[in-house]
Amino acid sequence: MTYELYYWPGLPGRGEFVRLALEQAGAPYIDLVRDTPSGMSALTKLMEHEAAMPPFAPPFLKDGSRIIGQTAAILLHLGDRLKLAPRDPAKRLWTHQMQLTIADAVTEAHNAHHPVAVDLYYEDQKPEARRAAKSFREERIPKFLGWFERILGNEKRGGKWLAGRAVSYADLSLFQLVEGFRYAFPKAMKGHETDFPRVVALVEAVRKLPNIAAYLGSPRHLAFNEDGIFRHYPELDA
């Protein structure tokens, strides 16, 4: 069966966390808006008209007759099916908890450049963004990365990955989060990364996974840009 992924065109965004899981598992999927001429129309119809339980916003995944919205919920759904989550129920829930924490970090990263309102242009909230970005760079990035560093330093987890011996969707998502931080705040991250060597090592281990390496080098992989969640404005990386 082929999964159908729905996300906005032209940017990695939250959809990329789902793409990484599908690519790592070698699962057949169609990125509807990217891959089909009618994809955007199909996205709109499912959100506004056709679905009995409509998703609030992309990304959402269609698995047969089931439609799942919210990145963390999609990955919770896919974790068992794609063997990207532990079998133990407690560890599955722990993996979901880590993914929800990553989702918090993603939201805060977006709010660093849009702290007042999403529907305002960045240029309309520059003073507030400078203040928000300073706090995010100096306080929040180290707090999030420090939490994952402590997890990776805990030998009780039973392996080199976040959830133990096998790679999980949380590892893939932490990779994308750090890559987003690096894009948006390269100066700040250059200073931070020496404090979190285990996180950096995990990111590089994910990058070297054969399926991930092939995906990153393919035309399917979308680069970060200033229309997405992670945006590089030099004045916010002072």
For the chain, the structural domain boundaries read 3-81, 89-237
Of the candidate CATH numbers 2.60.40.10, 1.20.1050.10, 2.60.40.650, 3.40.50.1000, the domain formed by 89-237 belongs to 1.20.1050.10
Instruction: Provide the pLDDT for residue 48.
Output: 80
Strands 60-63 and 29-31: unpaired
For the chain, give the percent of residues with pLDDT over 70: 99
pTM across the whole model: 0.96
Q: What is the signed CA dihedral for 174, 180, 182, 188, rounded to 10 degrees?
A: -100
Burial per residue of 176-208, b for 16 or more beta-carbon CB atoms within 10 angstroms, e otherwise: bbbbbbbbbbeebbeebbeebeebbebbeebee
**How many Å apart are CA 33 and CA 58, to the nearest integer?**
11
Backbone torsions φ then ψ of 31, nearest 5 degrees: -90, 95
CB neighbour class for 170 (10 Å; exposed up to 12, middle 13-18, buried from 19):
buried
What is the pLDDT at residue 149?
Answer: 98
pLDDT at residue 50, rounded to an integer: 65
**Residue 44: predicted pLDDT:** 87
Do the domains 3-81 and 89-237 sit in the same CATH topology, yes or no? no
pLDDT-based confidence at 144, cuts 50/70/90? very high
The whole-number pLDDT of residue 54 equals 83
Quote the mean pLDDT of the chain.
95
Backbone torsion region of residue 113, taken as left when φ is above 0, otherwise alpha when ψ lies between -120 and 50, otherwise beta: alpha
Q: What is the mean pLDDT of residues 154-174?
A: 93
Q: Is there a contact between 18 and 62 (Cβ–Cβ < 8 Å)?
A: no
Classify domain 3-81 at the CATH superfamily level.
Glutaredoxin (3.40.30.10)
Mean pLDDT, residues 68-93: 96
Strands of 60-63's sheet, edge to edge? Answer: 29-31, 3-6, 60-63, 66-69
| CA torsion angle 122 216 104 49 (round to 10) | 80
